Structure 1
Amino acid sequence: MARSKSARTAAPEAQGAKQLNRSLGWLAVLGAILAVAGLVGLVYTGFATLTSMLLFGWLLLIGGCVGLLHAVQSRGTNFFWLGVVVAALNLAAGVVIIRRPDVAAEALTMFAALLFLTGGVFRLVGSLVVRGPQFGWTLVQGAFGLLLGILVLANWPSSSQYVIGCFFSLALLFDGLGLLAAGLGGRRIVSMVAEGPDSGRPGGRGGPEEPEQPVQTEESLKAKPEGQEQSHN
């Protein structure tokens, strides 16, 4: 009886572990694809820049269409005109980026360089003024951001051909490596949890089965002392 109950409870657990392993395997495959795409993008930065800009433009178009439908559904409220304006801006920006991805890349590269410059200056000034426990790390971050902004602006607009693609490829690479590590590590943990507790128990997967003990009833317990008295006589 105990063995049948343990078998019934072990079957759903094994099925759940297999499904979780399959999901984690697909996660690892997705991470590997993203990591390979990031490496290819780092080699062909111009193609990665063009691809990222076109993808960004189509995302703006889809977001504008969805926002316009949502605004139409909420007509008669205060959100209607705001939703229409935001959707129109998204649609216009998407059309401009898709038609002229090179000009859009130049504008985004200039915007990114200005962000690096302002962020680096604020981090440098803040680290020198506050001098907190993370003084050295904040100082290095500020100097790196300032130097990167200066380098991008010094080579602009030619730097727009590879800056966006390089950042996009690095994001794909690190995201892919993170998903790959999570998938492989999760599969290893699931296998350890599924096999570890049963390996040291008798009757489990890794040990010999424990022989079944006979069930002692009340009649057998009463008959046992009588048999022992006859053996003593």
Structure 2
Amino acid sequence: MIVLGIAAIAEPFIATVAVARVLSWTFFFVGIVRTIYAFQSRRQRGFWLKLLIGIVYIIVGIMLLSNIFGATLTLTLAFGWVILVQGIFEVIAAFQVRPDPQWGWMLFSGIIAIILGILILYRWPIDAVWLLGTFTGISFLFSGAWMIIVPWAISKHLSRI
């Protein structure tokens, strides 16, 4: 994971295209699975809605796969909006749990997410060519680090017992 993270950060454009391809194929295959599920449960309520959702996923997957650079732009825009909305909900939730001792961390996380979402949307579409790849690389880097550190810390703790 660490090596993949470093590679994605070093080559963010290639990583962005790879992420866009993976997500595009994911939409396509999820659409197929949802469509099959709709037909398997056709005697239950909601068949047509389930079928429609599956077909929409397939169409979105095909559209994203047919124009990978458009997919990069679209996915980056969606990513910015998701982070912004998540931040807004985190801030609201933080004020709802305010008496709790750690509510400030939730508020801080929400404010950071709002700022990050605004920055992504403000710089869109200019930064779309590197953003998904860089963020994926950072995520892989940190995931790889904890995958090494946590087992090491556990084994070190257990050796003391």
Q: TM-score, normalised by structure 2?
A: 0.76
Q: Which has the larger radius of gyration?
A: 1
User: Does 1:108 pair with 2:79?
Assistant: no
User: Does 1:174 pair with 2:142?
Assistant: yes
Deviations 1:112-159 (A, max 9, x none): 323333444555577679754335434433432232223222221011
Q: 2:51 aligns with which of 84, 87, 90?
A: 84
Q: Is the 8 A contact 2:87 2:109 kept in 1?
A: yes
1:16-165 correspondence to structure 2 within 5 Å: 34-121=1-88, 123=90, 132=99, 133-134=101-102, 136-165=104-133
Amino acid at match of 2:23: F
Structure 1 vs Structure 2 CA RMSD: 3.2
Q: Is the 8 A contact 2:20 2:75 kept in 1?
A: no
Distance 1:163 1:120 in 2: 18
Distance 2:22 2:79 in 1: 18
**Structure 2 counterpart of 1:4:** none
Number of aligned residue pairs: give it.
Answer: 159
Q: Is the 8 A contact 2:35 2:54 kept in 1?
A: yes
Q: TM-score, normalised by structure 1?
A: 0.56
**Equivalent residue of 2:44, what SS?**
coil
Distance 2:54 2:96 in 1: 43
